[in-house]
Structure 1
C-alpha cells in the first residue's frame, strides 16, 4: 500500500514503537471497541467469533500501547474491564469481591519473568527459602461464584463484567458437583469460586441428542457449558450434564488457611470437587515441568483446558503483592501454544478419493483445538507416515507414525489439522509400523504409485487402478459434481449420493438429469422411499431442473478433472469462452504438440501438469461417452464477456514479467482481464504486449527477439489510464 494514503495505512498494522501519540489514542479507542464486542460475544452469547490466540493478541497490543503512552489509558478501556455486562434475561448480583481475570504468559521465558517480578517486588531473598507457587489446569468453561451463609447456598452468579454478574442460582442448584450445604465447620460467610464445564463424553452425547431432536449442536464443550448454565428455564439446565471444579474464593468472614493450596484442600473437605492435577512447586523448573506434563496429557483429560494457572501459595504474600489494573500480581495464566494440543492416534484410516488417491487419515482421541473439537487429521501419504521416501532417505516432515502414538496436532484457522510432532517416550511397546495397503479398500483393485517416465520420479500418492468399477471413486466424483462450487444442486448431498448409488439410481452424472423421468416410470417411487415424501421428492426434481444450464467454469470444475480446481476452471472458461471451443481445443492438444497445446500452456496459471491432466482426461473414451450423455441434458453457458469498450488493451495478449512494485502479480492480472486483455504466462508470436519490471529475464529477451512491444510498469499505468 502506498504511503500517500496517510492514516489509511491502517494504524492497526503499525508497530507499537512507531505509533505517534495521535495514532496511539485512535488505536486504543479501536481496540477498546473491538475487545468489548468480543467480550460480549464470549460472555453473553457464548458464541465467540475469534480464537483465543487472536483475542490474546488484541489485549497484548492494547497493553503494549498503554505501557508506552500511560497518559492515554482509557478509564473504561480493556485493561480495567473484565468480561461483559450481564445479559438482560437474568437478575443482577454485585460481587462483594470483584472477579478479576489473569495476565497471560505465552512461553517459558514469560514464566521465568513472572517469578522474577514477584521476587523483586517482595524483595524475596533466596536465603528466606523457596518461593512456593501452585500450578493447576486452566479449565475452559464458565466462571461461577457461589455464596454460602451458615453453610447454606444463598446464590450463584456468573463473572459478568467482574463487578456484577448474572443470577443463575436456580440453574446452579441442578449441578451435582455444587453442594446445597457445606460439610463440617465452615466460616459464617463463604464465597467459593470455580469453573462450570462439560466433560467430553457428555458433550458428545448432548450433541447427538440435540441433532436427533432437530436442535442446534454446540461447537465445543465450553459453549455447551455456558449455554446450558445460562438457560432461562432451570429444567433445561437440569437436563444438561454440567460439572464444577472449585479453585478460588471471594468474600470470606474468616480465612481458615494460610496458603492457596490449603484453601483448595478445604474446599474438598467442604464437599466440592477440586482438580487432582494441582501441584505445589518451589522452582521455576518444577512449574514448567507441571505445565509441559499437563500439555502432553491434555488429550487424556475428560475436559478442555487452555493452559496452566500459577499462583503464589502464601496468602500473606498474595496480599503484599496486591493487584494491578484488572489482574493480581501474584497469579498468571500460562497459555498453551495457539492451535496446538497433544492427543492420541487411535487409528489410521484409508479413504479413496474421486481421482483414486488413497489418502490416509488420522483418527484421533477427540480434543478441542482453537475452539473446535478435532478428531481427524491429515496424514498426506504413505511416505509421510513412514518418514522415509522410496529411495530410503528420510523425507522432510516425515513422522514414522504408529497407532497408539501420543502426537501434537496443529490447527490454524480453517486449515485441516496436521500432526507436527510425536512424543516417542510415550510410544506403546507393541506399536508397529503402519503397513500401507497395496490394494484399494473399496474395490480390491491394485493400488499403485505411478512413475513419471519423463522425470523418473515416483508419485507420492498411491492410486486405485479400478477406475469406473471402484464405488469409492464413483460416489466421490458424484459428490463433487453436485457440490456447492460445481452444479450446486440443493437437496442433493452426500447422503443422497450414497443412497442413490447403492440402489443403482444414479451411477453417473447424466443419471441425475434422467432421475425424474425414470421415477415416473418406476413402480418404486422416490416419494415412497424412507425419509422422502411428495414434497421433498418434488423439491429435488425442481432443484435438478434448475441446474440444467450452468456457468461454463462450474461445468468444467464439476467434471472432477485431476488438478483442475475452481480457480483453474475459471481460467479455462475465461480463456476459451465456450464449451465447444474448449472441447475442440482439448481434442486438438491430445498429442501434446502444436498450436492448441502451446495455447493451453500459455494460459497464465495453467502449467504443464494441469495441461497434461486435461488432455489425458479428454483422451479417455469413457470420459467422452459420459460427457456426451451429460450434454444431452445440460447446457454449459458461454463465459461472460468483459465489457472493455474503449480499453486500449481489449483483445490483446499481455505478459507480465519481472518484479512489480505498484501492484502484485494477481492484481496486475485481474486489472488486465477487467480491461478485456488475455494474460499469458509465456511470450510467443501471439503476444501483443510485455510489461517488464526489474529483474525481467528470459521472457524480456524473447520479447525483444520477436520484436514485441515492451513497456515498464509505469508505462502500463499510463497506457490504461489508471
Structure 2
C-alpha cells in the first residue's frame, strides 16, 4: 500500500469511527485506539504535506486563529419562526394553513426546538465549504474554522448528495458537557457560565479554534436549502436523507397526520423535555409536504408553513425596586422595572420592560411590589402579575411621567397609540444618539469601526450632532479621544467613507423614518427609484404602493416636510451617498405589468417561485397571496392548490402557465 493509500484509508476509517461515536452514539473502538490511529494519521500527513485534505479528521483539533469574522450574505435567507404560546394559537395557525391550501387534510412533521445557535453549512461536492451564523437572516459571520472542530459536523458526506446545497442546523451544548465545563471552571476559581445556549453561541466567535475544539459542542441538522432537492418531497424525507448523508438528526422527530397527533407530541415532550440531553424550549411544527410549503410561502419575516410552539416559560418572583423610563431613537418612552436580581431560565434578571402606561395600569404595578417575572419566549423578561398579598399598606399607585426624563419636554400620546413620545426630536440627546446608532447599524449603513459607545463619546465631545456629521470627521479630530489610537481613528474614518457605497434602499432605511423598516424601505426605493421622488410624493402616491398604509405614508410625508431632515438629506447627497437605484438595479425593470396583480401557485419547471415573483415586481406587477376579484392572473405550475383553481374559475380569473407569463414579458 502506498503512503497516499495509507493516508486515505486511515482518513476513511477515522471518519467512520467519528460518525459512529458522535452521531450514532455507537462507538466500536476505545478512545485510546481512536487517538492512536489519529496520531498515526497526523504523523503521515506531517511527513507528506502534498496529500493535504481540508476534510481530514486530523483537522478537527483546531489551532487556526481568526482575527475577524467575515460577513457573508446567505444564498437562501434564514427566516425566523412565528411563535404560538397556546393550543388555541396553534389551532388558529392550522386553520389558516387549511384555508390557504384549500384542503382538509394536512400532515405535519414535529421536531423539538433545541436551544442553541443557528448555523448554515454549505456543502459543495460533498465537502463542507463554508459555515455561516444566522446573523440577521440575510447575512451572518463566517465561522468555518470553528465549525470544523465540531465532531458531529461531517466534513465529507456519504451517499448520493446534490452538487451544492445548504444544511440548516443548531449548534448546541449538551447539558452534561455544560455541567462538566462549569465544574472545571469552578475548580480553577473562575465564574461558571450562565446557560448552555449562550455558551454555545459564544463558542462560535472564539478567535482560537483549538479552544472551540475543547468544548463538547454538537450540531443537530433540521433542514436543507437549495435550488432543487431532487426526489426529496417532504420535510420528513429531509430528516431521513440528512441521516443517510452523515448528519446528526435527533430521533425524536415525528410525522403526524393530524393536529390532534401534534398536540399529543407537544404534551408528551412538555412533560419529558428535562430527560433530554439538550435544552429545548418548544416544538417546531412544519407542513410536511414541500410542495405545500412552496404554496404557502413566506411573510416578510417567517414561513407560513411552520410555527414554533413554545413551552410555558419559567417564572420567578422578586421585588420591584424602581420604575425608570428610557427614551428611544423615535422618542418613544419605555418604562422599565428595576428588580432585585433573580435567576430565571439560566440568566440573572435585573430589569424587565413594562411596555407602556396601559400595561402598568392593567396589572396595577407599583414600586415596592413583589412581582412575577417570566421570559417572553424565554428571551425577554417581562412582568406577568403582581403578588397582591405582599403589597404594603402605604403602597402608592404608579403615576406615569408627564415630561421627558432626558430633556424635560412635555410628553405627547397620539390617538390610537399605546406609547408616550417626546416630541423634541432634534434636542433630546437619546433620540439624537439613537438615530445615529440606527444609521450606522448592520442592516443600515454598516459602518465598520464605529459602535454605540463611540457614538455616545463623539456626541458628548461635540464632534457630531446628527448622522450627517459623521462624514466630516477627521483622524486629527478623533485622536485626542479616550481609547482612540491612530489605527482605530483611521479605521473609523475609512469605514464612514466606505459606507458611501451602500445601496439606496439601505440608506433610506438608515434615515430612521418612523414605521419605515427594511421591507418598506425596499418597496419605496423600488417604486420611486430616487430620494427626490419620495420627498415630493403625496399621500395618495405613497398609499398606492403595495402594503404601504396611511400611517406609513403620513410618517414619510411628515419626515420630509421637516426642514431639518431635508437639510440633512441634502448634506448626505453632497457627501456622495447613494440616493437612487443603481443602473444595475434599474436594468431589467419595466412597467409592462403595471396595474396587474398576480397570484403564483404550484411548482415550476424553469423558474423558482421567488424568482418568478421577483420578475413580476421588477416589471411593475403586484404579487398577492390569495385570489380575489382584483386578481388579474394566476400563474399555475404543477401541484397547484385545488382551492385556488376553484376560486379562480368561480371569479373568472385567467389561469396561465409559466410560459404564458414569460411570453407576456
Normalising by structure 1, report the TM-score: 0.45
The higher radius of gyration belongs to 1
Normalising by structure 2, report the TM-score: 0.48
Choose between structure 1 and 2 for higher RCO, CA contacts under 8 A separated by at least 6 residues: 2
